[in-house]
Structure 1
Amino acid sequence: MKLTVFGATGGIGQEIVKQALTAGHQVTAVVRDPARLSVTGTGLEVFRSDLSDPEALRPAVAGRDAVLSGLGARSRKDAGVAARLTRTVLAALEAEGVRRLLVVSAGPVGPAPEGDGALDRTARGVVSALLKDVYADLSEMEAELARSTTDWTVVRPPRLQNKPVTGTYRTAVGGFPRKGRFIGRADVAHAMLAMVDDPGTVKQGVGVAY
């Protein structure tokens, strides 16, 4: 497949690029600073952009089978970046008629798992309060996707870890895995790539966790 990856220098984005190249896909990595992209390989194209102009992004997405995005706030002070940058990406996709889009959100933005215990409910509430602005940004991003013409999928992980890909995790379409507290960034990338051609995830939020 021909894939474009936004946020390609982030933890999840770099994993998407690396795993996609390993699987034999052609990958366009959209980055602001190419020096921060440590992944190399046959089939990789690096496209430099600050994501300020949808028209300038059109060559990066034209003719692609799918677009995957790891864009988002890296801290509370960056709140607002996910919705703003996703609007730019959506405008470029819609101008080029590219339909498939997968993005990273966060577990607390979606519905709580059924049958969650008091400990998990309390932890979820504390995290949601601490990162209120970040989650509000992600909620707006998800609303932008819902208003778009794309065949979007929102992937909602819990707390992220840096660990090697395992390929062993749980997913819940329209919900969240019960007691799902952690997942590695590499496995979020693995899950996103597995969902690219899964029609059951189109226009759905998907919880993913160990």
Structure 2
Amino acid sequence: MRITVFGATGGVGRELVRQAVAAGHEVTAVVRDPARLPVRLSEVRVRTVTRLDDSEELREAVAGRDAVLSGLGSRGRRADGVAEQLTRSVLRAMEAEGTRRLVVVSAAPVGPRPADDPLVDRLVRKAVGAVLKEVYADLTRMEAALAASATDWTSVRPPKLTDGPLTGRYRTVIGGSPRSGRTVSRADVAHAMLALVDDPAAVKQGVGVAY
């Protein structure tokens, strides 16, 4: 499969690149600093993009690809519209090139809360939501942009991310969130994203993923 990865040097993005290469996919990594890639440069096609609002560079990065995967997003509490703005740029490039499949990282609080979540999980979600209010608002706007697009998108919504190992043992819920799902590793989020590329049930859906 021909895959383009945005945010390829971030936590989830690095895992996407590493696992996609290991699986034998043809990977194009969109980066600002190729030296931060987790694999040898000979193993991927590198596109160095200095500005993610450069439509020509983005169109070249997504042209002819079977799928685009994105780990783009805020790296702190102040989102400044990063996820929404960058994803809109990617969407415009994909629509211009007729590239349809897109899988992005969002967050569990953006999706619906499990109706049977224990009280402690509801309280934790509320507290975290207050601290990361700007980040979740940005991701909510990003998901609205996805829903309004012509792409076959999937939004993967993990809870707290960890640097744990790839296990391949996690729960997914299409259109919802796993009950009492509190953590998941970045490696397993990447694994889920790659698996969901070929899942027709996940198209135009949010998918909760957690242990």
Q: Report TM bin, short chain.
A: over 0.9
> 1:104 matched to which residue of 2?
105
Q: Percent identity, aligned pairs only?
A: 66
How far is the alpha carbon of 1:55 from its aligned partner?
A: 2.0
Alpha-carbon distance in structure 1 between the residues aligned to 2:132 and 2:78: 10
> 1:60 matched to which residue of 2?
61
Q: Residue type matched to 1:10 in 2?
A: G
Alpha-carbon distance in structure 2 between the residues aligned to 1:100 and 1:65: 7
How far is the alpha carbon of 1:54 from its aligned partner?
A: 1.7
Q: Residue type matched to 1:196 in 2?
A: V
- The secondary structure found in structure 1 opposite 2:169 is coil
- Hey, which bits of structure 1, 4+ residues long, moved more than 3 A? none
Would you say the 8 A contact 1:87–1:144 is kept in 2? yes
> 1:22 matched to which residue of 2?
22
Alpha-carbon distance in structure 1 between the residues aligned to 2:58 and 2:163: 30
> 2:189 matched to which residue of 1?
188
How far is the alpha carbon of 1:42 from its aligned partner?
A: 5.3
How far is the alpha carbon of 1:41 from its aligned partner?
A: 6.1
Q: Residue type matched to 2:186 in 1?
A: R
> 1:169 matched to which residue of 2?
170
Task: Write the mapping of 1:69-80 to structure 2, written as runs, cut at 5 A.
Answer: 69-80=70-81
Q: Residue type matched to 1:101 in 2?
A: L
Alpha-carbon distance in structure 1 between the residues aligned to 2:41 and 2:32: 19
Q: Residue type matched to 1:182 in 2?
A: T
Task: Write the mapping of 1:40-55 to structure 2, written as runs, cut at 5 A.
Answer: 40=40, 43-49=43-49, 50-55=51-56
Would you say the 8 A contact 1:21–1:41 is kept in 2? no
Q: Deviations over 1:96-115 (max 9, x none)?
A: 00000000000001100120
- The secondary structure found in structure 1 opposite 2:75 is coil
- The secondary structure found in structure 1 opposite 2:78 is helix
Task: Write the mapping of 1:84-95 to structure 2, written as runs, cut at 5 A.
Answer: 84-95=85-96
Alpha-carbon distance in structure 1 between the residues aligned to 2:80 and 2:135: 5
Alpha-carbon distance in structure 2 between the residues aligned to 1:189 and 1:98: 21
- The secondary structure found in structure 2 opposite 1:20 is helix
Q: Deviations over 1:127-166 (max 9, x none)?
A: 1111000000000000000000000000000000001100
Alpha-carbon distance in structure 2 between the residues aligned to 1:204 and 1:42: 35
Residues 1:86 and 1:33: Cα distance change in structure 2 (over 3 Å): same
TM-score, reference length from structure 1: 0.98
Residues 1:11 and 1:196: Cα distance change in structure 2 (over 3 Å): same
TM-score, reference length from structure 2: 0.97
> 1:37 matched to which residue of 2?
37
Alpha-carbon distance in structure 2 between the residues aligned to 1:2 and 1:146: 24
RMSD: 1.0
Structure 1: 5+ residue stretches without partners: none
Structure 2: 5+ residue stretches without partners: none
Alpha-carbon distance in structure 2 between the residues aligned to 1:90 and 1:80: 15
Alpha-carbon distance in structure 1 between the residues aligned to 2:6 and 2:40: 16
Alpha-carbon distance in structure 2 between the residues aligned to 1:141 and 1:77: 15
* Number of aligned residue pairs: 210
